[in-house]
Chain A
């Protein structure tokens, strides 16, 4: 048998084996609907998928920030407590030890996502979606990435232009 034919034969055997393996797979998982997963399904994607309904502005966000976030991240987003990141960040990252914060992100959706899932740190997932939109608007506005009056919602947030957009290089493209 030529190597080529041998490989083909092996390939066919492999496919059969995979089919048999699936038939024999334990299949012990219970089925569940997407509706029943909703409470955990919080991740927001860069194109805006999975952003919830709701909206907020920087002015609304400022109040919540002062009450629930400034303690660690600093009043007005500057001078945080030691060990915490500021919320007002650099616009230029031209040395390896330039401290990074939200201005480094390529997508504004990442800000919404981290606040929605993890902040305030000691009471995560207690903010309403409107509050998360408002805080996101506030954080973008104090970094001058949006106008103070702009409303953030599922349509406007993914369109915000971040300063580092287009500067990222995928390290190992062949692994994707």
Chain B
């Protein structure tokens, strides 16, 4: 049965293809019956499952007592390849990036062990009993807090993504790099964070109204520091003590980090030991150089605090391959530094037609929302892409728009670990050929 014939015979109550190349209505995800009704009517059920299964027998693991229960469990030994990608595996004396394997995980919470990290001078081995946080500068009374002190404060729990300003930097290359979503977008992750609101501590030390900034500094050997507007400090900044219910991971800032929901990852200072209220930004080398963007016409942006609205498809994506025509669940993550995700649209024909994806759960502000799109692949070449909108009305730009405004590399980029620029939030497109092989493409 040809695809056009199938389409023309789709009955009214089956999931209608709502956009080109087989995207189905998101309602198809609501009920199994609805999906199957549609599948049967379109002949997909038959083509998907016609091969007869083997007769059943017991496997060895079902016939003997299993392994002992460990006090702290890790993933199955069959999941050994689900790991972060390291930029500096030999621990050379420089920074080190570990990227989240987005194409191998699901849902909206990044397991803590897979949360991305960038450490500029290794992971300090901090004794939590000796760690201190001092708040001083333009305040009524400087104060110093131990972890034990902070543990007694009123805490809040919230979801938040943290994204490096340089995430997706390979997308500034004039040619699409043939690398996975992990390599392209692995410098963003999402956790549930628990800690003390910075505003509580700022109220206790008494901030001088003339203080417009604070600098946050870590206890690592590079004493990484960043300047943050006091406004953000009183708004929703948190001293995060817990990540997904357990103490913050060593690489994510143990025993405490600054969390600035929606703001550039590097500003969310880890191993936080000092906050100083000041009347001008400190212009640390990260804000003076690293996270300042060269624009066309010899002008440069600075203080690009926001991680703007973005989405990318994780399944299917580069590194996967499709095993023949039939049903596939397209899914990915969407997030925005300016609020909740309002809508994600998916296209299977390179952006000619779009269908609205289903959003999983209640979207939270400045946090991942997993989106899903039911799809029936007819085996022809397709180009999959997603585009997100947030509640503030911001929309993820198309690639042509971002290239027009920001430019792209003068030569194709060879090294995917290179950051030729930062703050790329345009769409990601996956080209799938008739064999089911997936490439990274620009549309």
Chain A positions near chain B (C-beta within 8 angstroms): 18, 21-22, 25-34, 37, 40-47, 72, 83-84, 92-98, 100-102, 104-107, 109-110, 113-114, 117-118, 121-122, 124-125, 164, 167-172, 175-176
Contact = CB atoms under 8 A, between A and B. Distances in A.
B289 A43 contact: no
A21 B202 CA distance: 13
A175 B232 contact: yes
B284 A170 contact: no
A93 B172 CA distance: 17
Interface size class on chain B is 35 or more
A52 to B, nearest CB: 15
B95 to A, nearest CB: 9
Nearest to B215: A43
A22 B303 contact: no
B273 interface: yes
B2 interface: no
A96 B225 contact: no
| Smallest CB-CB A-B distances: 3 pairs | A29-B143, A28-B149, A171-B304
Contact of A29 (B201, B225, B231): B201
B300 A164 contact: yes
A46 B303 contact: no
Contacts of A100: 289-290, 292, 294
Interface string B259-272: 00000000000000
15 contacts: A26-B154, A31-B144, A37-B134, A96-B295, A97-B410, A97-B420, A100-B290, A100-B292, A105-B288, A106-B283, A118-B221, A121-B222, A168-B299, A171-B304, A172-B303
A34 B136 contact: yes
A168 B144 contact: no
Contact of B222 (A29, A105, A117): A117
A171 B422 CA distance: 13
B130 to A, nearest CB: 14
B302 interface: yes
Interface stretch (B34-42, B65-73, B314-322, B401-409): B401-409
A136 to B, nearest CB: 13
Contacts of B142: 31-34, 37
Nearest to B273: A40
B441 interface: no
Contacts, number: 185
B285 A167 contact: no
B223 interface: yes
A73 to B, nearest CB: 11
A47 to B, nearest CB: 6
Contact of B409 (A42, A97, A113, A175): A97
A96 B409 contact: yes
B92 to A, nearest CB: 7
B283 A30 contact: no
Contact of B284 (A27, A113, A167): A113
A128 to B, nearest CB: 17
B94 interface: yes
A106 B289 CA distance: 9
B298 A32 contact: no
Nearest to B411: A97
Contact of B92 (A25, A40, A83, A110): A83
Interface stretch (B245-253, B274-282, B380-388): B274-282
Contact of A96 (B204, B229, B421): B421
A175 B234 CA distance: 12
B201 A96 contact: no
Nearest to A102: B289
A167 B298 CA distance: 7
Nearest to A104: B289
A25 B283 contact: no
B434 interface: no
A102 B294 CA distance: 14
